Amino acid sequence: MPVRLISAPEAAERLNVSARTVYSWISSGRLPSVRLSPRCTRVPVAAVEALMNASTAQGRADLASLLWDVDPDSIDEVRDADFLIVRILTAGRPEQVSWMFHRYPRAKIERIVAADKRLSERVAGGWRNLLGLGDGEARP
């Protein structure tokens, strides 16, 4: 079975990082690559998925500190996505925020920032600013 390869910018999009970061990971050996020519580098899709899974597993384990009032084992990442996103936006550490952006689509996070009443106006305003959402997309 042939190995599926993607470009570094495509890998960056999947990993939710910049292309420069992907090239840095390739240079350091963190992310394997195939050099097809001096100006053409490709990354195996399996390596990108492995990196995503490692990041997801590490981040998931670190969410327990945000779940002081619920049993962490009872939380389902899909079913309780809105709850987890609100908790991370409100009190998450950088690695938890990174996990959130890798795990959930940006559009879902933006929707919660724009409309979820569980976020204080101060927190929602800060995230609207960081995400580049205009005042026109402020909560109703």
Residue 2 and residue 96: Cα distance in Å, rounded?
35
In the predicted model, is pLDDT for residue 135 greater than 70? no
- Residues in Cβ contact with 41 at an 8 Å cutoff, skipping those fewer than 6 apart: 7, 8, 23, 26, 33, 34, 35
pTM for this model (two decimals): 0.58
Give the pLDDT confidence of 30-69 residue by residue, as tens digits. Answer: 889 998 898 898 999 998 888 877 665 555 557 888 888 8
